Homo-oligomer: A and B are copies of this chain.
Protein backbone atom coordinates (compact mmCIF):
# COMPACT_ATOMS: atom_id res chain seq x y z
CA UNK A 1 0.00 0.00 0.00
CA UNK A 2 1.42 3.36 -0.99
CA UNK A 3 1.16 6.34 1.32
CA UNK A 4 -1.37 8.81 -0.02
CA UNK A 5 0.43 11.94 -1.11
CA UNK A 6 -1.44 15.13 -0.32
CA UNK A 7 -0.56 18.69 -1.15
CA UNK A 8 -0.57 22.02 0.63
CA UNK A 9 -1.02 25.28 -1.23
CA UNK A 10 0.09 28.33 0.76
CA UNK A 11 -2.06 30.97 -0.91
CA UNK A 12 -1.64 34.73 -0.61
CA UNK A 13 -4.93 36.46 -1.39
CA UNK A 14 -3.35 39.90 -1.86
CA UNK A 15 -5.03 43.07 -0.60
CA UNK A 16 -8.52 41.55 -0.72
CA UNK A 17 -9.89 43.16 -3.88
CA UNK A 18 -10.80 40.29 -6.30
CA UNK A 19 -9.02 42.29 -9.03
CA UNK A 20 -5.80 41.46 -7.17
CA UNK A 21 -6.41 37.74 -6.79
CA UNK A 22 -3.89 36.15 -9.15
CA UNK A 23 -5.17 33.44 -11.51
CA UNK A 24 -2.70 31.09 -9.78
CA UNK A 25 -4.47 31.72 -6.46
CA UNK A 26 -7.91 31.02 -7.95
CA UNK A 27 -6.55 27.83 -9.54
CA UNK A 28 -5.05 26.64 -6.26
CA UNK A 29 -8.39 27.18 -4.51
CA UNK A 30 -10.20 25.33 -7.30
CA UNK A 31 -7.85 22.33 -7.02
CA UNK A 32 -8.17 22.06 -3.24
CA UNK A 33 -10.40 19.69 -1.28
CA UNK A 34 -10.04 21.70 1.92
CA UNK A 35 -9.64 25.46 2.48
CA UNK A 36 -8.28 26.69 5.80
CA UNK A 37 -8.00 30.23 7.04
CA UNK A 38 -8.96 33.08 9.30
CA UNK A 39 -12.72 33.61 9.10
CA UNK A 40 -12.55 37.07 7.50
CA UNK A 41 -10.39 35.80 4.64
CA UNK A 42 -12.62 32.79 4.08
CA UNK A 43 -15.64 35.13 3.85
CA UNK A 44 -13.81 37.14 1.24
CA UNK A 45 -13.39 34.18 -1.15
CA UNK A 46 -16.70 32.45 -0.42
CA UNK A 47 -17.79 32.42 -4.06
CA UNK A 48 -14.62 30.57 -5.10
CA UNK A 49 -14.84 27.72 -2.60
CA UNK A 50 -18.46 26.61 -2.68
CA UNK A 51 -18.88 22.93 -1.84
CA UNK A 52 -15.40 22.55 -0.38
CA UNK A 53 -14.53 21.49 3.15
CA UNK A 54 -13.80 24.74 4.97
CA UNK A 55 -11.91 25.14 8.24
CA UNK A 56 -12.46 28.69 9.37
CA UNK A 57 -10.81 29.91 12.56
CA UNK A 58 -10.46 33.09 14.53
CA UNK A 59 -7.19 35.06 14.70
CA UNK A 60 -4.52 33.82 17.08
CA UNK A 61 -4.85 30.14 16.23
CA UNK A 62 -2.19 30.03 13.54
CA UNK A 63 -0.50 26.82 14.75
CA UNK A 64 -3.87 25.06 15.09
CA UNK A 65 -4.76 26.06 11.54
CA UNK A 66 -1.36 24.87 10.33
CA UNK A 67 -1.74 21.54 12.16
CA UNK A 68 -5.19 21.01 10.64
CA UNK A 69 -3.74 21.65 7.19
CA UNK A 70 -0.83 19.28 7.70
CA UNK A 71 -3.15 16.56 9.07
CA UNK A 72 -5.37 16.80 5.99
CA UNK A 73 -2.40 16.76 3.63
CA UNK A 74 -0.88 13.67 5.27
CA UNK A 75 -4.33 12.08 4.87
CA UNK A 76 -3.96 12.56 1.11
CA UNK A 77 -6.04 15.68 0.60
CA UNK A 78 -5.17 18.84 -1.29
CA UNK A 79 -5.38 21.74 1.13
CA UNK A 80 -5.27 25.49 0.55
CA UNK A 81 -4.15 27.56 3.53
CA UNK A 82 -5.06 31.18 2.83
CA UNK A 83 -3.44 34.36 4.12
CA UNK A 84 -4.21 37.96 3.25
CA UNK A 85 -1.38 39.67 1.42
CA UNK A 86 1.54 37.28 0.90
CA UNK A 87 1.52 33.99 2.82
CA UNK A 88 5.30 34.34 3.14
CA UNK A 89 5.27 37.78 4.84
CA UNK A 90 3.87 37.58 8.38
CA UNK A 91 1.44 34.99 6.93
CA UNK A 92 0.71 31.28 7.26
CA UNK A 93 3.88 29.94 5.57
CA UNK A 94 5.78 30.12 8.85
CA UNK A 95 3.33 28.13 11.00
CA UNK A 96 2.84 25.50 8.26
CA UNK A 97 6.59 24.92 7.74
CA UNK A 98 7.05 24.83 11.50
CA UNK A 99 4.45 22.07 11.90
CA UNK A 100 5.92 20.19 8.92
CA UNK A 101 9.38 20.41 10.53
CA UNK A 102 8.01 19.08 13.83
CA UNK A 103 6.44 16.13 11.98
CA UNK A 104 9.74 15.22 10.30
CA UNK A 105 8.51 16.18 6.81
CA UNK A 106 10.76 14.79 4.07
CA UNK A 107 10.41 17.87 1.85
CA UNK A 108 8.45 16.01 -0.82
CA UNK A 109 5.32 14.41 0.59
CA UNK A 110 3.06 16.22 1.13
CA UNK A 111 4.11 18.61 -1.61
CA UNK A 112 4.02 22.27 -0.63
CA UNK A 113 3.44 25.00 -3.22
CA UNK A 114 3.43 28.68 -2.33
CA UNK A 115 1.34 31.14 -4.32
CA UNK A 116 2.72 34.57 -3.37
CA UNK A 117 0.44 37.61 -3.31
CA UNK A 118 0.76 41.39 -3.07
CA UNK A 119 1.59 42.17 0.57
CA UNK A 120 -0.11 44.85 2.69
CA UNK A 121 3.09 46.91 2.58
CA UNK A 122 3.04 46.96 -1.22
CA UNK A 123 -0.66 47.81 -1.35
CA UNK A 124 -0.03 50.71 1.06
CA UNK A 125 2.95 51.88 -1.00
CA UNK A 126 0.89 51.80 -4.19
CA UNK A 127 -1.70 54.07 -2.61
CA UNK A 128 0.92 56.44 -1.15
CA UNK A 129 3.08 57.04 -4.25
CA UNK A 130 6.58 55.51 -4.44
CA UNK A 131 7.81 55.32 -0.84
CA UNK A 132 9.62 51.95 -1.17
CA UNK A 133 11.83 52.92 -4.14
CA UNK A 134 15.08 52.51 -2.23
CA UNK A 135 16.27 49.87 0.20
CA UNK A 136 13.63 49.22 2.84
CA UNK A 137 12.79 47.13 5.91
CA UNK A 138 9.59 45.52 7.06
CA UNK A 139 9.28 45.47 10.85
CA UNK A 140 6.37 44.13 12.88
CA UNK A 141 5.79 46.03 16.12
CA UNK A 142 3.91 43.09 17.65
CA UNK A 143 5.88 41.71 20.58
CA UNK A 144 3.72 38.60 20.84
CA UNK A 145 6.29 36.39 19.08
CA UNK A 146 9.39 38.59 19.19
CA UNK A 147 10.82 40.21 22.33
CA UNK A 148 10.41 44.00 22.36
CA UNK A 149 14.15 44.48 22.91
CA UNK A 150 14.79 42.64 19.63
CA UNK A 151 12.27 44.85 17.83
CA UNK A 152 13.85 47.97 19.37
CA UNK A 153 17.29 46.93 18.15
CA UNK A 154 15.87 46.41 14.65
CA UNK A 155 14.33 49.88 14.70
CA UNK A 156 17.72 51.30 15.77
CA UNK A 157 19.45 49.41 12.96
CA UNK A 158 16.87 50.47 10.37
CA UNK A 159 17.23 54.10 11.48
CA UNK A 160 21.04 53.95 11.33
CA UNK A 161 20.96 52.34 7.89
CA UNK A 162 18.66 55.07 6.52
CA UNK A 163 16.19 52.42 5.35
CA UNK A 164 12.65 53.28 4.39
CA UNK A 165 10.66 51.48 7.11
CA UNK A 166 7.30 49.74 6.73
CA UNK A 167 5.70 48.98 10.08
CA UNK A 168 3.28 46.05 10.38
CA UNK A 169 0.96 45.60 13.40
CA UNK A 170 1.84 49.14 14.52
CA UNK A 171 -0.72 49.59 17.28
CA UNK A 172 -3.63 47.80 18.94
CA UNK A 173 -5.91 48.46 21.87
CA UNK A 174 -3.44 46.71 24.15
CA UNK A 175 -0.25 47.96 22.49
CA UNK A 176 -0.22 51.73 22.29
CA UNK A 177 3.35 52.67 23.17
CA UNK A 178 5.39 50.77 20.54
CA UNK A 179 4.59 53.10 17.65
CA UNK A 180 5.61 56.13 19.72
CA UNK A 181 8.85 54.41 20.74
CA UNK A 182 9.55 53.59 17.10
CA UNK A 183 8.98 57.25 16.25
CA UNK A 184 11.44 58.36 18.94
CA UNK A 185 14.12 55.97 17.70
CA UNK A 186 13.74 57.17 14.11
CA UNK A 187 13.70 60.84 15.16
CA UNK A 188 17.19 60.38 16.62
CA UNK A 189 18.46 59.66 13.11
CA UNK A 190 16.26 61.54 10.64
CA UNK A 191 14.57 64.95 10.40
CA UNK A 192 11.25 65.78 12.05
CA UNK A 193 9.76 66.59 8.63
CA UNK A 194 10.46 63.07 7.27
CA UNK A 195 7.30 62.00 5.41
CA UNK A 196 5.14 59.27 6.93
CA UNK A 197 2.28 57.52 5.15
CA UNK A 198 -0.46 55.69 7.03
CA UNK A 199 -2.79 53.36 5.13
CA UNK A 200 -5.63 51.24 6.46
CA UNK A 201 -7.48 48.66 4.33
CA UNK A 202 -5.61 49.49 1.13
CA UNK A 203 -7.64 48.53 -1.98
CA UNK A 204 -10.63 47.60 0.20
CA UNK A 205 -13.83 49.44 0.97
CA UNK A 206 -13.08 51.79 3.82
CA UNK A 207 -9.54 52.52 2.60
CA UNK A 208 -7.96 55.25 4.77
CA UNK A 209 -4.89 57.22 3.75
CA UNK A 210 -3.08 59.83 5.81
CA UNK A 211 0.17 61.58 4.94
CA UNK A 212 2.02 63.23 7.81
CA UNK A 213 5.54 63.67 9.18
CA UNK A 214 7.61 61.93 11.81
CA UNK A 215 7.03 64.91 14.12
CA UNK A 216 3.25 64.86 13.65
CA UNK A 217 3.03 61.07 13.91
CA UNK A 218 2.47 61.48 17.64
CA UNK A 219 -0.88 63.17 16.98
CA UNK A 220 -1.74 60.86 14.08
CA UNK A 221 -1.07 57.70 16.13
CA UNK A 222 -4.64 57.60 17.46
CA UNK A 223 -5.88 56.69 13.97
CA UNK A 224 -3.45 53.77 13.65
CA UNK A 225 -4.68 50.23 14.34
CA UNK A 226 -3.54 46.63 13.80
CA UNK A 227 -4.51 46.49 10.13
CA UNK A 228 -2.81 49.79 9.30
CA UNK A 229 0.59 49.97 7.60
CA UNK A 230 2.84 52.89 8.55
CA UNK A 231 5.55 53.74 6.00
CA UNK A 232 8.33 56.06 7.16
CA UNK A 233 10.51 57.68 4.50
CA UNK A 234 14.30 57.77 4.47
CA UNK A 235 16.52 60.88 4.24
CA UNK A 236 15.66 61.43 0.55
CA UNK A 237 11.87 60.92 0.71
CA UNK A 238 9.76 63.99 -0.08
CA UNK A 239 6.11 64.97 -0.50
CA UNK A 240 4.72 66.21 -3.81
CA UNK A 241 1.14 66.36 -5.06
CA UNK A 242 -0.02 64.56 -1.94
CA UNK A 243 2.25 61.59 -2.68
CA UNK A 244 5.10 60.14 -0.61
CA UNK A 245 8.00 59.90 -3.06
CA UNK A 246 11.38 58.25 -2.53
CA UNK A 247 13.50 58.92 -5.60
CA UNK A 248 15.22 55.87 -7.08
CA UNK A 249 18.72 57.30 -6.85
CA UNK A 250 20.57 59.28 -4.24
CA UNK A 251 21.66 62.11 -6.52
CA UNK A 252 18.11 62.76 -7.62
CA UNK A 253 17.07 64.70 -4.55
CA UNK A 254 19.87 67.22 -5.04
CA UNK A 255 18.59 67.80 -8.58
CA UNK A 256 15.16 68.88 -7.42
CA UNK A 257 14.39 72.60 -7.52
Contact = CB atoms under 8 A, between A and B. Distances in A.
A89 B89 CA distance: 15
B17 A250 contact: no
B122 A116 contact: yes
A23 B203 CA distance: 14
Interface in A12-26: 14-15, 17-24
Contact of A89 (B20, B117, B122): B122
Contact of A94 (B86, B100, B153, B248): B248
A257 to B, nearest CB: 8
Contacts of A132: 88-89
Contacts of A140: 134-135
A123 interface: yes
Instruction: Give the interface size bracket for A toward B.
Output: 35 or more
Interface of A: 10, 14-15, 17-24, 27, 62, 86-91, 93-98, 100-102, 105-108, 112, 114-119, 122-123, 125-127, 129-140, 144-147, 150-151, 153-154, 156-158, 160-163, 238, 240-243, 245-252, 256-257
In the A-B complex, the 8 residue pairs with the closest CB atoms: A107-B241, A157-B161, A145-B249, A94-B248, A93-B130, A114-B126, A94-B133, A19-B24
13 contacts: A19-B27, A88-B132, A88-B133, A89-B122, A97-B243, A112-B243, A114-B126, A118-B118, A136-B138, A153-B160, A154-B162, A154-B163, A161-B161
